[in-house]
Structures are given as C-alpha cells and as structure tokens.
Amino acid sequence: MYIIAGLGNPGDRYHGTRHNIGFYVVDLLAQAHGIQMKQLRHKAIFGEGRIGDKKVILAKPQTYMNLSGESLLSMKQWYKLEPQQIIVVYDDIDLSPGTIRIRPSGSAGTHNGMKSIIYLLETQDFPRVRIGIGRPPEGWELADYVLSRFREEEIEIMKEACARAVKGIECILSLGVEQAMSRYNG
C-alpha cells in the first residue's frame, strides 16, 4: 500500500494557485484510475483504490500547507506504513516551470509543507515528485507568488508537467523510484 499525497491549501480561494499543483496531480490520478476522493479523515480529503497492482490512498491534506505533516503522520500511523510508502507531490520554486524532479529522498529546501512533513515523520527518506513553478518575478514576495494563479502562457506547460508527474508516479508504483527518475526527470 502507498499513500500519494498532493500538497496544497484547502478552499476555493487557493484553487488553481501555484502552491496547489500537488492537489491537481492527485485529482488527475483519481480521475485516471476511478478513485473517488470523498472521504474526510486524518485531516485530509482522500480516496482508496488501485493503481496497477498496488493499493493506494490518494490524499489532499486539509491542514493548510505549513501543517501538512500532521495529516501524513496520522495516515502513516493509522495504516502502519513505512516512509518509503509515502509519495509526496508538490510545487518547487527552484525548478523552472514545467520541470519534473523525482527523488527517493531529500531535504525540504524552502518548502514549508515539506518542512512540516520531514519534521513530523522524523525522516526525509520518502519519495517525492517536485513540479517546477519557477521563481517569483522581481519585486514579488514569495508568499504572494506561490499563492498566485498561473499566467495564460504558463497553463499549457503546467498541464503537460502534471500529466508527466502522473506518469512518473505510476512508474514509481510499477517499476520503482530509480526507473521513474530515469524516465521522467527533466
């Protein structure tokens, strides 16, 4: 069993923002595999189903980004999973828009949601799929940028990146992180 958690902020106010790209990828996975995202527990909206031969829980933590670890810790403990069975999908300002980076582990960088998860899980050894959103334009505050919506010219690039992220996650589940890295990073 795997938990695939997309990071974001709950509510209509944040729908479609750069920081909610993880939610969007989880929604695409749910749609592609017929998984209903209707349960609310562990401070997350989630659904259970299968991707290939793997049982999965698709989750969108509802704690707001900075407390994402609370939701994932609750799910990890309830389902008695190892950190390597948790795949986290999130935005990354240090990657150019549309770039995908899959890794088996790593630091949180500047991402507060990942800082929360690493702190509460007490490890950084879990797979992650980072989706580049680029850096804020000159004069923008970081918080304003990540909570902004994509510009018209970015939308198609980001849709393609999210589709590649879905394929990357499917590859992690079927062939492992190393294969997914070699096929989908970039």
Cross-strand bridge partners of residue 39:
46
pTM of the entire predicted model: 0.96
Q: What three-state secondary structure class fits 2?
A: strand
- 106 burial type by CB count under 10 A (0-12 exposed, 13-18 middle, 19+ buried): middle
φ/ψ of 9, rounded to 5, equals -115, 140
pLDDT digits (tens, 9 = 90+) for 44-90: 999 999 999 999 999 999 999 999 999 999 999 999 999 999 999 99
CA–chain centroid gap for 108, Å, is: 13
Rounded Cα gap, residues 98 and 24, in angstroms: 14
pLDDT digits (tens, 9 = 90+) for 136-158: 999 999 999 999 999 999 999 99
Mean confidence (pLDDT) of the chain:
97
Query: Which of 15, 19, 42, 111 is labelled catalytic?
Result: 19
Confidence of residue 186 (pLDDT cuts 50, 70, 90): confident
Task: For residue 87, give every residue at least 6 positions away whose Cβ sits within 8 Å of its Cβ, in sequence order, or none.
Answer: 2, 3, 4, 5, 126, 127, 128, 129, 169, 172
Q: Is 42 a catalytic residue?
A: no
pLDDT digits (tens, 9 = 90+) for 155-168: 999 999 999 999 99
Q: Which domain holds residue 137?
A: 2-184
Rounded Cα gap, residues 87 and 74, in angstroms: 15
- Number of independent structural domains in the chain: 1
Q: What is the CATH number of the domain that holds 52?
A: 3.40.50.1470
